[in-house]
Amino acid sequence: MKIDTKKIKTLGELKKLGYQSKSIKDELRENLLEKIAQGEETFHGVWGYENTVIPELERAILSRHNINLLGLRGQAKTRLARLMVQLLDEWIPVVEGSEVHDDPFQPISRYATELIKEKGDETPIHWIHRDERFYEKLATPDVTVADLIGDIDPIKAANLKLSYADDRVIHFGMIPRANRCIFVINELPDLQARIQVALFNILQEGDIQIRGFKLRLSLDLQFVFTANPEDYTNRGSIVTPLKDRIGSQILTHYPDSLEIAKKITKQEAQLDGRQQDSVQVPEIAMDVLEQISFEARNSEYVDAKSGVSARMSITAFENLLSTAERRIVRSGEKQTTVRLSDFMGVVPSITGKIELVYEGEQEGAGSVAEILIEDAIKSLFPNYFPEIAKLERKDAETAYDDLIHWFFDGEGFELLDEDTDEEYQNKLDAVKPLNKLIAEHQPSVSKGDSYFMKELLLWGLVAHKKLTKNRFTEGYQFKDLYGSYIRGL
């Protein structure tokens, strides 16, 4: 029903319009059914959940359930809850002045009931937009029942000259004030058990109790909880009777492919327009960036139970572009392409996003970050170049013999962090076996991306212990494993 909210100002006008009020769960259900029937996307911008989480979430909404989204950090749990707002009616009427968004046809507060009794069809109403119908609370150990549900307000009692036995002295908490709205409690296990108990009646019967007052407020709420599965055994737990009252528990997960992960990163990264115009990012560079997160989730140095948030790839991408941008600003150039050596600029994004186990602590966060980058290159290397066997005869011929001999016969070479694009390209072009390998195995790669491929070749041979790579203050030095030592002898 299309409503002119500027014209409908009283309860009588609302009745003439033939407006039918409905519960928030029915609202969500009906609007979702309409979107599904019309083939519309229900949760826009959430990638990788099309065949897993989103169908389960839709079924929970159609079943009018309160929902618990259970998953590791950085799995879009809060994003999903916020997107549910788009399934609400655009506008709903409330009794003007009501603290709890009273429905004019079904008022629940004393204020609204008495106002309608006094003014009848002249009762003033106002309209609230669906964007105003989202409430969120982070569960922390210091949250109280008064914060969530309410308490007696002595100042109100004094100002109104009321006895504490009068229910008008009550100050409502966040949950009653979120009546007819979506209410999200993040990190539910962090809520103390006694506070969780206070939610029992709200979830089941929809009523509340404040300081012994018998209030039968039939609250109309859509609850969405989020939790990390490890919280059940670490910081706290969701008490069993509360879990029993939550209709659907939905498990979220990380992206299962590089393509989905890249979509998420490109969508969420906060980039300056100048960065996008001046820094070109080869697609293989994005693959390496996302592969770092995949390696971290399987690394022996990283606590898998804590998870590796998608935010790691997002902030790493932002740092990667900033590293390249800083280089061209210093050199006075206008444009550049991301280099593999720029990936050292993403180390701060990795160290702050991973929880290390004991072995990782011994290595150090910075060293683990560099290991993850090397592991990502090693994993992707066979997608572009011939695989290097773990065990091979010493006299076996490989595709990389000419390149390894080039380093054996020479002194190696250096790539400096501040090299201009021309200097960087000339140095790589000077390694003739690199050009040959790219021509043989990646003939269709563009000239701009070919230099990233050349670096990938070098880093891949280092990861497979065919060459050595040494970091010094101003850049990297690539050398063979034994040639310099033998020449010294």
For the segment 213-250, what is each residue's pLDDT rounded down to a tens digit? 666 678 899 999 999 886 544 456 888 888 899 999 99
For the segment 7-62, what is each residue's pLDDT rounded down to a tens digit? 889 999 999 988 899 999 999 999 999 999 999 999 999 999 999 999 999 999 99
Q: How confident is the model at residue 338 (pLDDT cuts 50, 70, 90)?
A: very high
Q: Which residues are paired to 415 by β-bridges?
A: 476
Q: Return d(Cα 17, Cα 106) in angstroms, integer.
A: 17
Contact 301, 371 (CB under 8 A): yes
For the segment 431-464, what is each residue's pLDDT rounded down to a tens digit? 999 999 999 999 999 988 999 999 999 999 999 9
How, if at all, do strands 467-472 and 475-480 pair? antiparallel
Q: How confident is the model at residue 212 (pLDDT cuts 50, 70, 90)?
A: low
The CATH number of the structural domain formed by 394-489 is: 1.10.10
CA neighbours closer than 13 Å in the CB half-sphere of residue 111: 16
Q: What is the mean pLDDT of residues 117-129?
A: 93
Diameter of the chain measured on Cα atoms? 104
CA neighbours closer than 13 Å in the CB half-sphere of residue 13: 14
Superfamily of domain 254-383: Magnesium chelatase subunit I, C-Terminal domain (1.10.8.80)
Q: How confident is the model at residue 110 (pLDDT cuts 50, 70, 90)?
A: confident
CA neighbours closer than 13 Å in the CB half-sphere of residue 489: 4
The distance from CA 263 to its chain's CA centroid, rounded to whole angstroms, is 12
Q: How confident is the model at residue 164 (pLDDT cuts 50, 70, 90)?
A: low
- Among residues 471, 459, 469, the alpha carbon closest in space to that of 434 is found at 459
Backbone angles phi, psi at 151, to 5 degrees: -160, 175
Q: What is the mean pLDDT of residues 143-155?
A: 80
Q: How confident is the model at residue 76 (pLDDT cuts 50, 70, 90)?
A: very high
For the segment 250-264, what is each residue's pLDDT rounded down to a tens digit? 999 999 999 999 999
Where residue 125 falls (left for φ over 0; alpha for ψ -120 to 50; beta otherwise) is beta
- Residue with the bigger pLDDT between 293 and 167: it is 293
Interacting residues of 160 by C-beta distance below 8 A, sequence separation 6+ = 168, 169
User: Each residue of 416-448: b (16+ CB within 10 Å) or e?
Assistant: bbebbbeebbebbeebebbeebbeeebeebeee
Query: What's 388's DSSP letter?
Result: P
Residue 202 has pLDDT above 90, yes or no: no
Q: Return d(Cα 362, Cα 264) in angstroms, integer.
A: 32
Mean of all residue pLDDT scores within the chain: 88
Superfamily of domain 11-251: P-loop containing nucleotide triphosphate hydrolases (3.40.50.300)
Looking at residue 144, its pLDDT comes to: 87
Residue with tokens 């390209």: 425
Looking at residue 232, its pLDDT comes to: 47
Interacting residues of 105 by C-beta distance below 8 A, sequence separation 6+ = 21
Tokens coding 227: 């939790």
Contact 188, 227 (CB under 8 A): yes
Nearest-Å Rg of the Cα atoms of the chain is: 30
Q: Where are the alpha helices (DSSP H) in 390-482?
A: 401-409, 421-429, 432-441, 447-463
Q: How confident is the model at residue 211 (pLDDT cuts 50, 70, 90)?
A: low
Query: What's 430's DSSP letter?
Result: T
- Among residues 251, 249, 175, 222, the alpha carbon closest in space to that of 32 is found at 222
CA angle 396, 401, 407 (to 5 degrees): 135
For the segment 354-409, what is each residue's pLDDT rounded down to a tens digit? 999 999 999 999 999 999 999 999 999 999 999 887 756 666 678 898 998 898 88
Q: Spell out the domain ranges in the chain.
A: 11-251, 254-383, 394-489
Q: Which residues are paired to 279 by β-bridges?
A: 336
Q: Return d(Cα 96, Cα 86) in angstroms, integer.
A: 24
